[in-house]
């Protein structure tokens, strides 16, 4: 297993995101030099927050601008980097009108990052953040089985987000497979379940949106949804292990802690926050009402195919 040395520079893409900030923090705590990409350096408050993720860091966090829709932005970002943890990808709370809004940056952006890594000549391994959505989560997934790293979803059956993750991961594997020997770089993939846990980037993300909506009682009910969940700190640690463990190269890694019903989540939140004045809904919504709501609510529409379903994943590889 490789160790952090002064010379080891790691690039984290989308460094300001929910998961990426935990990766940056843990890398800095382990002594790595970290460069992160953000789409814009102009939001001073956000940048300050990122720079303060690890106050005792041996090396100050370096931030550069790069965008998945701008292939030319990745060459300077990967310069002199040994490991790339490619986390950035659009993860919206609502289904976009055009699927391409997600698929294009996810797929072409991943290809652009990998292309820049090859050109840099310094990159040994890329760790890609994929998703359980690329394995067995969503419409058409067989809920009678426990999914393993051998499984793939059929993209055409998925919503735009699931499609974007599946196609981006496939594109990454195809890309490294086709590389000539002299250009070879290693690829390791992390496939997290629904990621929950402390928000340290100071902004909302799709993951925290569920808890926020429950706390704000956006609806007077909970949907009968089941989530395979995983702690964001475990997800970050898994990325770093996948970056350094010899055995992780060329493999996918499912990462999931347990399955939780939304009603259970709501009950935990209610117990914890009731005394602070939060009126968290804990009753399941009757099916017909949920269906009616989905006709005008894009978030409910997005989750309708998952109502009542339990998706199970085998996490043996990472445990």
49 part of the active site: no
Put the strands of the sheet holding 83-86 in their side by side order.
Answer: 62-65, 33-38, 9-13, 83-86, 125-129, 186-192, 252-255
Q: Judged by CB under 6 A, does residue 89 bind ligand NDP? A: yes
Nearer to ligand NDP, 129 or 282 (CB): 129
Question: Segment contacting ligand NDP (CB under 6 A): 12-20, 56-64, 270-278, 289-297?
Answer: 12-20
Are 302 and 158 in contact, with CB atoms under 8 Å apart? no
Q: Which residues from 173-202 bind ligand NDP, rule CB under 6 A?
A: 192, 194-195
Angle 52-56-60 (CA atoms, 0-180°, nearest 5)? 60
Binding marks (x or -) toward ligand NDP, 211..240, rule CB under 6 A? Answer: ------------------------------
Q: Which of 105, 136, 162, 197 binds ligand NDP (CB under 6 A)?
A: 105
Alpha-carbon torsion 313, 316, 318, 319, what sign? positive
Q: Which residues from 135-174 bind ligand NDP, rule CB under 6 A?
A: 165
Q: Which of 9, 10, 38, 63 binds ligand NDP (CB under 6 A)?
A: 38
Are 281 and 75 in contact, with CB atoms under 8 Å apart? no
List of E strands, 116-242:
125-129, 146-147, 186-192, 194-196, 226-231
The gap from C-alpha 121 to its chain's centroid, in whole angstroms, comes to 26
Q: Judged by CB under 6 A, does residue 90 bind ligand NDP? A: yes
- 80: Cα within 13 Å, side-chain hemisphere: 8
Q: Judged by CB under 6 A, does residue 67 bind ligand NDP? A: yes
Q: How many residues does the chain have?
A: 319
Nearer to ligand NDP, 188 or 195 (CB): 195
Nearer to ligand NDP, 31 or 43 (CB): 43
- The residues that touch ligand NDP, with contacts defined as CB under 6 A, are 14, 16-20, 38-39, 67-69, 87-91, 105, 129, 131, 165, 192, 194-195, 205-207
């Amino acid at each position: 297993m490789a160790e952090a040395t002064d010379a080891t520079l790691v690039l984290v893409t989308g460094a300001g995101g929910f998961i990426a900030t935990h990766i940056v923090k843990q890398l800095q705590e382990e002594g790595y030099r970290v460069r992160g990409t953000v789409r814009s350096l102009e939001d001073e408050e956000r940048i300050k927050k990122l720079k303060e993720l690890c106050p005792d860091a041996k090396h100050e966090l370096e931030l550069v601008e790069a965008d998945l829709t701008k292939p030319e932005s990745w060459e300077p970002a990967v310069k002199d980097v040994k490991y790339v943890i490619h986390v950035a990808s659009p993860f919206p709370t609502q289904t976009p009108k055009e699927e391409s809004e997600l698929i294009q940056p996810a797929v072409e952006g991943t290809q652009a990052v990998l292309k820049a890594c090859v050109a840099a000549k310094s990159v040994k391994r890329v760790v890609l953040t994929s998703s359980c959505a690329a394995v067995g989560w969503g419409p058409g997934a067989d809920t009678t089985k426990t999914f393993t790293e051998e499984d793939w979803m059929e993209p055409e059956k998925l919503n735009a987000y699931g499609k974007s993750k599946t196609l981006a991961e496939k594109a990454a594997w195809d890309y490294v497979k086709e590389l000539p020997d002299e250009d070879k770089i290693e690829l390791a993939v992390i496939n997290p379940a629904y990621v929950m846990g402390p928000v340290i980037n100071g902004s909302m993300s799709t993951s925290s949106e569920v808890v926020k909506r429950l706390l704000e009682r956006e609806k007077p009910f909970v949907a009968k949804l089941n989530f395979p969940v995983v702690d964001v700190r475990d997800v970050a640690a898994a990325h770093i292990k996948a970056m350094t463990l010899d055995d992780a190269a060329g493999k996918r890694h499912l990462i999931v802690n347990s399955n939780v019903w939304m009603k259970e989540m709501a009950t935990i939140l209610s117990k914890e926050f009731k005394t602070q004045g939060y009126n968290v809904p804990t009753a399941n919504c009757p099916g017909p009402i949920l269906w009616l709501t989905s006709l005008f609510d894009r978030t409910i529409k997005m989750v309708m195919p998952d109502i009542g379903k339990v998706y199970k994943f085998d996490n043996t590889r990472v445990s």
